[in-house]
Structure 1
């Protein structure tokens, strides 16, 4: 879609004062998908030269905001971390075309802040941390689970940039379980839950996304029974936090969340102990 209100495009490598009507341009799959009448200038990140995805010396996985879904998927296919299959599962949750896979960025998915954003689900479940850069050069770090605070609402300040997301090595060694539901075959996620079992202390982290307006993470220091998981979901998600749109009513999303939470508990706690 043409953005007929845009009057200028600027290379992000050239510093300039941030002003109302500016927007960061990554892959552009969202920006060019619908009218953006408030945008006057696009700040293009495509020439920043950031390495898409890499393992640090400590074994952490650093994903640049400009890394595409296709690049992340390719990198994880050859990885030997226990949690590697989860990357492909979340990439496939886009149910997107080949073209979108090669243009859409991980950072763009987080910065849209949509409840069904599968890169939000992935990075929140693996204890990801966002590195944010301000226009003045200040750097701050925010856990992914706290980065999105509502449907389409993030903690980004005006002009602030998501530089990268880091997944710790310990989380990459977790056993994971993935559950996702849509109302129809090629539909947007109505509920997406991920369980991750810590490789050292056995703690279970259950991350609820898509069915809620923001990522909600529930942690169990000791192996929970069915009642403990149900109680945690019941009291961990406030009534107003169940998402409501054409892709699923809150009552259905809530039902699927309870169902998936118990399935994940059985897979990572009961079946693992056999």
Structure 2
């Protein structure tokens, strides 16, 4: 789509691109959403891809993912053998409601900052206990847990001019066992619910992440695998106004699916099967 309100595109921003931020600006990475709909309030685009941030950087502490890392690059990353959660990255990429052509442009940071309930990069990073590094226009940096970033449907904690720079996933989370369940009304449709369960190797804990069916990510933690009743009660304790409704499902439908798939995840991790 032509954006007929745009009067300038900054092709070579500074290394701290937020320093000259002003109202009417927008960050441009993949642009797969920016160019898909009218943007009447925008006047200038700042192209972050020109900064050439390294997409994926393994470290002793875990994995750093730049906000401009494409879905294609994330999917193709050669996961170290010990990072048992690697399969979850590929499954999350496959949860996109998009073609491989969009994968070539769409970015991890863009999907997170859109903050839609069905954003699979949100599911992935919350489930793996990630932390987001945010840069403010005044040059300050703050860190936010992935769980706390999205506050509602298309809403998050970003202040005007603030930018998501990188996502850091801790090494201990990359070594966890994982199990996931996802439901869509059609084979390539938008997620109605997307659940991930993780568990430390050799332990019996459970960290259950619920997304797509809720307006913001929900995490339910258990020190040891719960029984059926306890698991269901924990899901039912999610506030009613957190459940999402759209043409893909009502809150009651999504709660029902969450109960069902959470129990499947519990059984899978109890049996010791890897996702």
TM-score calculated relative to the size of structure 2: 0.94
Other structure's SS at 1:191 match: strand
CA deviation profile, 1:185-235 (whole Å, cap 9, x unmatched): 221001000000023654210000000000000000122111111111111
1:217 correspondence with 2:219: yes
Other structure's SS at 1:190 match: strand
Give me the whole-angstrom Cα distance separating, in 1, the residues matched to 2:22 and 2:215.
Answer: 29
Is there any run of 5+ residues in structure 1 with no aligned partner, and where?
Answer: none
1:7 correspondence with 2:7: yes
RMSD of equivalent CA atoms: 1.5
Other structure's SS at 1:90 match: helix
Other structure's SS at 1:46 match: helix
Partner of 2:240: 239
Contact 2:210 2:218 in 1 (8 A): yes
Q: Which residue, out of 34, 39, 59, partners 1:36? A: 39
Give me the whole-angstrom Cα distance separating, in 2, the residues matched to 1:265 and 1:19.
Answer: 48
Other structure's SS at 1:47 match: helix
Give me the whole-angstrom Cα distance separating, in 2, the residues matched to 1:199 and 1:143.
Answer: 23
Contact 1:170 1:199 in 2 (8 A): no
Partner of 2:171: 169
> 1:76 Cα deviation (Å)?
4.3
Instruction: Decide which moves more: 146-155 or 5-14.
Output: 5-14
Partner of 2:196: 194
CA deviation profile, 1:154-213 (whole Å, cap 9, x unmatched): 100110010000110000000000100011122100100000002365421000000000
CA deviation profile, 1:102-124 (whole Å, cap 9, x unmatched): 10000000000000000000000
Contact 2:13 2:46 in 1 (8 A): yes
Give me the whole-angstrom Cα distance separating, in 1, the residues matched to 2:29 and 2:81.
Answer: 26
Count of equivalent residues: 270
Other structure's SS at 2:272 match: helix
Residues 93-242 of structure 1 mapped to structure 2, 5 A cutoff: 93-199=95-201, 201-235=203-237, 237-242=238-243
Other structure's SS at 1:111 match: helix
Give me the whole-angstrom Cα distance separating, in 2, the residues matched to 1:78 and 1:70.
Answer: 18
> 1:49 Cα deviation (Å)?
1.7
1:257 correspondence with 2:239: no
Contact 2:82 2:175 in 1 (8 A): no
Q: Which residue, out of 50, 55, 63, partners 2:53? A: 50
Contact 1:128 1:144 in 2 (8 A): yes
CA deviation profile, 1:127-157 (whole Å, cap 9, x unmatched): 0100001111111110111000101101001
CA deviation profile, 1:229-271 (whole Å, cap 9, x unmatched): 1111111x110111111222222111111111111011112x1
Partner of 2:76: 74
